[in-house]
Protein backbone atom coordinates (compact mmCIF):
# COMPACT_ATOMS: atom_id res chain seq x y z
CA UNK A 1 0.00 0.00 0.00
CA UNK A 2 1.45 3.39 -0.99
CA UNK A 3 0.97 6.02 1.75
CA UNK A 4 -0.82 9.26 0.95
CA UNK A 5 1.34 12.23 0.04
CA UNK A 6 1.05 15.37 2.14
CA UNK A 7 2.25 18.83 1.22
CA UNK A 8 5.29 20.19 3.03
CA UNK A 9 5.92 23.60 4.55
CA UNK A 10 6.90 25.84 1.59
CA UNK A 11 9.24 27.83 3.84
CA UNK A 12 11.89 25.17 3.20
CA UNK A 13 12.21 26.55 -0.36
CA UNK A 14 15.28 28.82 -0.40
CA UNK A 15 15.45 29.54 -4.15
CA UNK A 16 13.06 29.23 -7.07
CA UNK A 17 13.74 30.74 -10.48
CA UNK A 18 12.92 29.33 -13.89
CA UNK A 19 13.57 25.61 -13.77
CA UNK A 20 15.74 25.69 -10.63
CA UNK A 21 14.33 24.90 -7.20
CA UNK A 22 16.51 24.66 -4.08
CA UNK A 23 15.33 23.68 -0.62
CA UNK A 24 16.59 23.33 2.92
CA UNK A 25 16.09 19.58 3.27
CA UNK A 26 14.88 18.40 6.70
CA UNK A 27 16.35 15.30 8.31
CA UNK A 28 14.45 12.03 8.11
CA UNK A 29 13.10 12.25 4.58
CA UNK A 30 14.49 10.83 1.33
CA UNK A 31 15.40 13.07 -1.60
CA UNK A 32 12.77 11.23 -3.64
CA UNK A 33 10.53 8.23 -3.12
CA UNK A 34 11.89 4.72 -3.68
CA UNK A 35 11.15 1.16 -2.61
CA UNK A 36 12.27 1.88 0.96
CA UNK A 37 10.65 5.31 1.27
CA UNK A 38 7.65 5.44 -1.11
CA UNK A 39 7.05 9.12 -0.34
CA UNK A 40 10.11 11.36 -0.43
CA UNK A 41 10.73 15.09 -0.38
CA UNK A 42 10.27 15.35 -4.14
CA UNK A 43 6.74 13.96 -3.96
CA UNK A 44 5.77 16.26 -1.09
CA UNK A 45 7.18 19.28 -2.90
CA UNK A 46 5.19 18.39 -6.02
CA UNK A 47 2.08 18.33 -3.84
CA UNK A 48 3.03 21.73 -2.38
CA UNK A 49 4.04 23.72 -5.45
CA UNK A 50 2.10 21.92 -8.17
CA UNK A 51 5.13 21.45 -10.45
CA UNK A 52 6.73 18.22 -11.59
CA UNK A 53 10.32 18.32 -10.35
CA UNK A 54 13.25 15.93 -10.29
CA UNK A 55 16.36 15.88 -8.09
CA UNK A 56 19.67 16.97 -9.60
CA UNK A 57 21.63 15.27 -6.80
CA UNK A 58 20.84 13.52 -3.52
CA UNK A 59 21.40 13.90 0.21
CA UNK A 60 21.30 11.05 2.72
CA UNK A 61 17.96 10.59 4.46
CA UNK A 62 19.59 11.63 7.76
CA UNK A 63 21.27 14.75 6.35
CA UNK A 64 19.97 18.31 6.23
CA UNK A 65 20.74 21.31 4.04
CA UNK A 66 20.91 22.53 0.47
CA UNK A 67 19.24 20.24 -2.06
CA UNK A 68 18.56 21.16 -5.69
CA UNK A 69 15.70 20.04 -7.93
CA UNK A 70 14.84 20.94 -11.51
CA UNK A 71 11.45 21.68 -13.04
CA UNK A 72 12.57 21.40 -16.68
CA UNK A 73 14.43 18.81 -18.73
CA UNK A 74 16.97 21.28 -20.13
CA UNK A 75 17.76 22.73 -16.72
CA UNK A 76 18.19 19.28 -15.22
CA UNK A 77 20.48 18.23 -18.05
CA UNK A 78 22.64 21.34 -17.55
CA UNK A 79 22.88 20.97 -13.77
CA UNK A 80 23.58 17.23 -13.94
CA UNK A 81 26.41 17.96 -16.39
CA UNK A 82 27.88 20.44 -13.91
CA UNK A 83 27.86 17.77 -11.20
CA UNK A 84 29.29 15.15 -13.54
CA UNK A 85 32.11 17.48 -14.64
CA UNK A 86 32.84 18.42 -11.00
CA UNK A 87 32.04 22.07 -11.62
CA UNK A 88 29.82 22.26 -8.53
CA UNK A 89 31.37 23.12 -5.18
CA UNK A 90 29.67 21.43 -2.22
CA UNK A 91 30.46 22.39 1.36
CA UNK A 92 29.23 20.36 4.32
CA UNK A 93 29.52 20.67 8.07
CA UNK A 94 29.80 17.65 10.34
CA UNK A 95 30.25 17.25 14.08
CA UNK A 96 32.53 14.27 14.70
CA UNK A 97 33.57 12.32 17.76
CA UNK A 98 36.92 13.17 19.33
CA UNK A 99 39.33 16.08 19.25
CA UNK A 100 41.00 16.95 15.94
CA UNK A 101 43.65 19.72 16.07
CA UNK A 102 43.08 22.65 13.71
CA UNK A 103 44.25 21.29 10.38
CA UNK A 104 43.42 20.57 6.74
CA UNK A 105 43.73 17.22 5.02
CA UNK A 106 42.46 15.03 2.17
CA UNK A 107 40.97 11.55 2.11
CA UNK A 108 41.23 9.41 -1.05
CA UNK A 109 39.89 6.17 0.40
CA UNK A 110 37.71 4.35 -2.18
CA UNK A 111 34.02 4.06 -1.33
CA UNK A 112 32.28 0.88 -2.46
CA UNK A 113 35.40 0.10 -4.53
CA UNK A 114 35.04 3.36 -6.46
CA UNK A 115 37.43 6.34 -6.39
CA UNK A 116 36.41 8.96 -3.83
CA UNK A 117 37.98 12.20 -2.68
CA UNK A 118 37.13 14.67 0.09
CA UNK A 119 38.91 17.77 1.40
CA UNK A 120 38.52 18.24 5.16
CA UNK A 121 39.20 21.11 7.54
CA UNK A 122 38.79 21.04 11.32
CA UNK A 123 37.18 24.28 12.49
CA UNK A 124 36.82 24.11 16.27
CA UNK A 125 36.48 21.73 19.17
CA UNK A 126 33.12 21.37 20.91
CA UNK A 127 31.65 19.96 24.09
CA UNK A 128 28.55 17.85 23.56
CA UNK A 129 25.40 17.56 25.67
CA UNK A 130 26.96 14.43 27.19
CA UNK A 131 30.15 16.38 28.14
CA UNK A 132 32.20 14.45 25.55
CA UNK A 133 34.62 16.22 23.19
CA UNK A 134 33.72 16.64 19.51
CA UNK A 135 35.09 18.57 16.53
CA UNK A 136 33.28 20.69 13.96
CA UNK A 137 34.62 19.70 10.54
CA UNK A 138 34.14 21.22 7.10
CA UNK A 139 33.97 18.72 4.22
CA UNK A 140 34.29 19.48 0.52
CA UNK A 141 33.76 16.30 -1.52
CA UNK A 142 34.89 16.33 -5.14
CA UNK A 143 33.20 13.00 -5.87
CA UNK A 144 29.68 11.94 -4.93
CA UNK A 145 29.75 8.40 -3.62
CA UNK A 146 26.96 7.15 -1.36
CA UNK A 147 27.67 8.11 2.25
CA UNK A 148 31.13 9.29 1.19
CA UNK A 149 31.72 11.87 3.93
CA UNK A 150 30.35 9.56 6.60
CA UNK A 151 32.56 6.68 5.51
CA UNK A 152 35.69 8.81 5.11
CA UNK A 153 35.38 10.27 8.61
CA UNK A 154 34.55 6.91 10.17
CA UNK A 155 37.57 5.39 8.44
CA UNK A 156 39.77 7.99 10.13
CA UNK A 157 38.47 7.07 13.57
CA UNK A 158 36.22 10.12 13.90
CA UNK A 159 32.68 8.99 13.05
CA UNK A 160 30.02 11.66 12.78
CA UNK A 161 28.18 12.16 16.05
CA UNK A 162 25.01 10.08 15.99
CA UNK A 163 26.12 7.99 12.99
CA UNK A 164 25.62 4.61 14.61
CA UNK A 165 25.73 2.82 11.25
CA UNK A 166 29.38 3.91 10.91
CA UNK A 167 30.85 3.45 14.35
CA UNK A 168 29.52 6.29 16.51
CA UNK A 169 29.24 5.35 20.17
CA UNK A 170 25.69 4.93 21.41
CA UNK A 171 26.78 5.36 25.01
CA UNK A 172 27.77 8.93 24.10
CA UNK A 173 24.13 9.70 23.19
CA UNK A 174 21.59 11.36 23.21
CA UNK A 175 22.16 12.33 19.59
CA UNK A 176 19.23 11.40 17.38
CA UNK A 177 20.80 11.49 13.91
CA UNK A 178 24.18 11.81 12.18
CA UNK A 179 25.05 15.51 12.43
CA UNK A 180 25.80 16.15 8.76
CA UNK A 181 24.59 19.33 7.07
CA UNK A 182 24.92 20.49 3.46
CA UNK A 183 25.87 24.09 4.19
CA UNK A 184 26.53 25.54 0.74
CA UNK A 185 26.39 24.71 -2.96
CA UNK A 186 27.99 26.82 -5.67
CA UNK A 187 27.09 26.26 -9.31
CA UNK A 188 26.17 28.15 -12.49
CA UNK A 189 22.55 29.13 -12.99
CA UNK A 190 21.44 27.38 -16.21
CA UNK A 191 18.87 30.10 -16.82
CA UNK A 192 21.23 33.10 -16.64
CA UNK A 193 24.78 31.62 -16.77
CA UNK A 194 25.51 33.65 -13.62
CA UNK A 195 27.14 32.16 -10.51
CA UNK A 196 24.56 30.76 -8.12
CA UNK A 197 25.38 30.45 -4.40
CA UNK A 198 22.92 28.53 -2.23
CA UNK A 199 23.44 28.42 1.53
CA UNK A 200 21.47 27.49 4.66
CA UNK A 201 22.49 27.55 8.31
CA UNK A 202 22.71 24.29 10.29
CA UNK A 203 19.58 23.16 12.14
CA UNK A 204 18.91 23.40 15.86
CA UNK A 205 20.45 20.03 16.75
CA UNK A 206 23.90 21.48 15.98
CA UNK A 207 23.28 23.91 18.85
CA UNK A 208 23.53 21.13 21.44
CA UNK A 209 27.28 21.68 21.28
CA UNK A 210 29.31 24.55 22.74
CA UNK A 211 32.73 25.77 21.62
CA UNK A 212 35.71 24.94 23.79
CA UNK A 213 38.28 27.68 24.31
CA UNK A 214 41.71 26.29 23.44
The 10s digit of each residue's pLDDT in 157-184 is 999 999 999 999 887 666 889 999 999 9
Number of domains in the chain: 1
60 is catalytic: yes
- What pLDDT was estimated at residue 37? 83
Q: Residue 211: inside a domain, yes or no? A: no
- What pLDDT was estimated at residue 124? 96
Burial class (CB in 10 A: 0-12, 13-18, 19+), 181: buried
Q: Residue 94: inside a domain, yes or no? A: yes
Distance from C-alpha of 39 to C-alpha of 27, rounded to nearest angstrom: 14
Q: pLDDT digits over 44-75, tens only?
A: 999 999 999 999 999 999 999 999 999 999 99
Q: Residue 1: inside a domain, yes or no? A: no
Q: Residue 182: inside a domain, yes or no? A: yes
Q: Residue 5: inside a domain, yes or no? A: no
- What pLDDT was estimated at residue 18? 87
The residue segments making up the domain with residue 111 are 10-205
Q: Residue 4: inside a domain, yes or no? A: no
CATH number of the CATH domain containing 101: 3.30.2350.10
Better-predicted residue by pLDDT, 3 or 97:
97
Q: Looking at 60, 112, 163, 165, which residue is catalytic?
A: 60
Q: Residue 34: inside a domain, yes or no? A: yes
Asked whether the predicted pLDDT for residue 3 surpasses 60, the reply is no
Q: Residue 155: inside a domain, yes or no? A: yes
- What pLDDT was estimated at residue 173? 61
Amino acid sequence: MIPSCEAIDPSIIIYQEGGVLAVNKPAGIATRGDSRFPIGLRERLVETIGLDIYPVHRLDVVATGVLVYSASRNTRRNLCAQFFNREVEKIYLAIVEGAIPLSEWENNMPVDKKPAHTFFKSLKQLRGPNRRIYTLVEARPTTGRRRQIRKHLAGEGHPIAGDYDHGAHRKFAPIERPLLHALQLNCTNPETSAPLLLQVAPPEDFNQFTEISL
